Amino acid sequence: MNTYVISRELLEQNIRQLKKQANGVPIWAVIKGDGYGLGALPLAELLADNGIERFCVTEVREAELLRENGFRDAQILMLRSVSDRETLHRLLDLGVILTVGSWETAQMIDALARERADIAEVHIKIDTGMGRYGFLPSEMEQVVALYRELKHLAIGGIYTHFNCAFADDRLTKQEFAEFQSVISQLRAAGLETGIVHCCNSSAFLKFPEMHCDGVRLGSAILGRMPFRTKLRPVGYLESEVEELHTVPKGHSTGYGAVWTAKRETRLAIVPVGWYHGFRVSCQPDMTRVRDCLRSAFSALKGILRRQRTYVEINGTRCPVVGAIGMLHCAVDVTEITCKTGDRVIVQMNPLHQKGVKVVYRK
């Protein structure tokens, strides 16, 4: 059976490393997207066992899951604005900290809290470049008014989310400066900002000076960053050899016959395909000409270096041949000894796993 195996030990190692780098600044673990594929609840439980009990979510369901499973007092921050009344009621029932990203949302939450004779705990979102939720740094009047006029909001924090921290240091520093300017204007106006936070994983790892009062980490916990770090990827897909075939020279495998055997070849058929997340990646953004060029260049590099995809069978790296199918792939095992049922290890991001069982192992 296909299983996505997560190593507790490596996860704990990453958490220790991140805590060390946080140097006392609280870590808010982001468990959106079902804990980046690791399972929101088991991930949260492991984090809690390792001293992290602040969480960020994007769905009501994730908050419910935590509250229903013993996380009664954990702080949970909703990372996006919510405007649906029913959802807001549910979030307030669950004691979730809401995000206020516009004057309209703020008024809505304030009115709803008033109806409930309640105070809604919120963090304010500032838009320093992402352009989704949040007040622009030029909208300071509105931000100040939130503190002064909306009596049913308890503003416990303020944050921004960088759009280019993984790639553009100069832009990120500029965005940080704008965010800091918002904070100092609020302080100058005599307002209490609460927890100030801006770092996602990339910014956290690159810019210790931006850690402020808290950091929001997701992908770093999984050890999957687009640049070199001391973190380790925490999981892999485990499958097994389903069938073995020897095909003659000139025979092909897979759709499109994109590969043909240059010699008599022994093929191991493995029941893992793109449906399960194998070789699936986030589509590069092709909106800008420079991204198209970059993508074409990287494809060309792949062709010149004849980059292949490998899996591991019985401890040996073996090349995948032919097109990866929806549910299967073929592996050239001419050079190794293997039999049906042998273990196959496939490296892939848990974020993309689908239709496989997720297990935590030592």
Ligand X SMILES: *Cc1c(COP(=O)(O)O)cnc(C)c1O
Interacting residues toward ligand X by CB under 6 A: 30, 32, 79, 161, 200-202, 216-220
Nearer to ligand X, 219 or 265 (CB): 219
Question: Considering the complex, what minimum distance in angstroms separates the CB of residue 17 from ligand X?
Answer: 14
The two structure tokens encoding residue 113? 């809290």
Whether the CB-CB separation of 194 and 155 falls below 8 Å is answered with yes
Cβ at position 155, least distance to ligand X in Å: 17
The residue nearest ligand X at its CB is 218
**Considering beta carbons, is residue 125 or 328 the nearer one to ligand X?**
125
115: left (phi over 0), alpha (psi -120 to 50) or beta: alpha
Classify 184 in phi/psi space as left (phi over 0), alpha (psi -120 to 50) or beta: alpha
Nearer to ligand X, 215 or 261 (CB): 215
| Residue 78 or 261 with smaller CB distance to ligand X | 78
Integer CA distances (angstroms), 209 to 180, 201, 215, 275, in order: 12, 14, 12, 41
CB of 16 to ligand X, least distance (A): 17
**Phi, psi torsion values for 195, nearest 5 degrees:** -70, 125
CB atoms within 10 A of CB 10: 16
Contact present, 102 and 135 (Cβ < 8 Å): yes
Contact 187, 144 (CB under 8 A): no
Strand 265-270 relative to strand 54-57: parallel, antiparallel, unpaired? unpaired
Shortest separation between residue 210's beta carbon and ligand X, angstroms: 13
C-beta of 97 vs 338, nearer to ligand X: 97
We find the least distance from the C-beta atom of residue 62 to ligand X, in angstroms, to be: 12
Is 121 or 127 the residue whose CB approaches ligand X more closely?
127
Min separation Cβ 74 and ligand X, Å: 17
Q: Which residue has the tokens 């043909």?
A: 260
